[in-house]
A = this chain, B = another copy of it.
Amino acid sequence: MDNLNTGDTAWVLISTALVLMMTPALAFFYGGMVRKKNVLSTLNFSFILMALISLQWVLFGFTLAFGKTANGIIGGLNYLGLTGVGAEPNADYAGTIPFLLFAAYQMMFAVITPALISGTFVERVKFKAFLIFSLLWATLVYDPVAHWVWGVGGILRNLGALDFAGGTVVHITAGFSALAFARVIRARRGFGNGSMEPHNIPYSVLGAGLLWMGWFGFNGGSALGANGLAVTALMNTNTAAAAAGVVWMLLSWRDHKPSVLGIITGAVVGLVAITPAAGYVTPLAALAIGAAAAPISYFAIKLRQGRHLDESLDVWACHGMGGLWGALATGLFASKAVNAAGADGLFYGNPRLFLVQLLAAAVTLIFAFGMTFLLATALKRTIGLSVSDTEEQVGLDIAEHGERAYA
């Protein structure tokens, strides 16, 4: 344990707690946007995954993602049940903190990613189908992609793709999986007639506020130590969120009025976009990345609406497109002056990084979309994806959980 550093350990411990908190924060971000009769169901999509995926991760998820690589495709089973993952650092991943802490920190990413997807099928998915899907998705999509990008020997890591804190692993996978799922499941009854007003926007503001805070752990903690890199990541994170929030406000003001739901959505989109780049760029680049992320997602929502697709809470537009932009922007703005362990991007004279980022994003995007399409289709044909019309009318809280949110 010679190399253990208590300061690094302290920072990754608290970052783990911050990322954990992002899942209930997401629950409220989403829960505020659904109708009153579905709020518990929506909150629970996030909450139950804190439980379910934590178990999956401890038992076999971690080893699939970070076990000894099998040809760069998937991790081996050497860490099954976290055997051999203890208080000693593993220099492959983080040389100054216990390896078990690395596993715990990564667990929180594995938890929140399927929770992000849940925004696409709220207010109509069957709870049982949701559970099975999430477990399969975590195992068959998340764990492999995490291995490719972050695992020693992973194919995309070997390629030189940069993903500081999960723009590809978390946001592109979640966003494009959400798109695929939305194409398989039926729309909500009444979708498109404007009767689906968010029932409690303050909940969404609360969620966004806590997400913003939690993201300091998500991106800052990805430095895996309390060092200058963590600080850079934190500053970039905040700056991108700020820029995207302000730009989204201006966009919605131009079209209508400065929507509060728009402002908080903008901030979240900025956080998404900076995720892959947070440890590789300067604060002013972060400002640019955030500012550009807002219109990308804003118009992606308009596009999605134009296609009459009920991708209910716009996971694709916000996370998929935000993450994609972030991955590409990393290929543009990354600079070795910021992080010597990174690479220079296109704007620093290295077009190769941009192409690698593009390739990595494309591979991930296609894989996530395809696998999810298959999984969702298989579930639809077997146990069915969505509740009956009557259950939907009554609301999932009562129909699926026998509960009412408010009395």
Contacts from A to B (Cβ < 8 Å): 1, 4-11, 13-14, 16-18, 20-21, 23-25, 27-28, 31, 35-36, 39-41, 43-44, 47-48, 50-52, 54-55, 58, 81-82, 86-88, 97-98, 100-101, 103-104, 107, 127, 197-203, 205-206, 208-210, 212-213, 216-217, 220, 225-232, 234-235, 238-239, 241-243, 245-246, 249, 256-261, 263-264, 266-267, 283-284, 287, 397, 400-407
Contacts and interface: CB of A to CB of B under 8 A. Distances in A.
Contacts of A205: 24, 27, 40, 43-44, 47
A239 B58 contact: yes
The A interface, classified by DSSP as helix, strand, loop or mixed, is helix
A161 to B, nearest CB: 25
Contact of A407 (B36, B87, B212): B36
B403 A260 contact: yes
Nearest to A267: B51
Contacts of A229: 87
Nearest to A235: B104
A76 B127 CA distance: 56
Given A8-B7, A48-B263, A400 B13 contact: no
A200 B36 CA distance: 11
Nearest to A46: B209
A226 B54 contact: no
A102 to B, nearest CB: 9
A49 B267 CA distance: 12
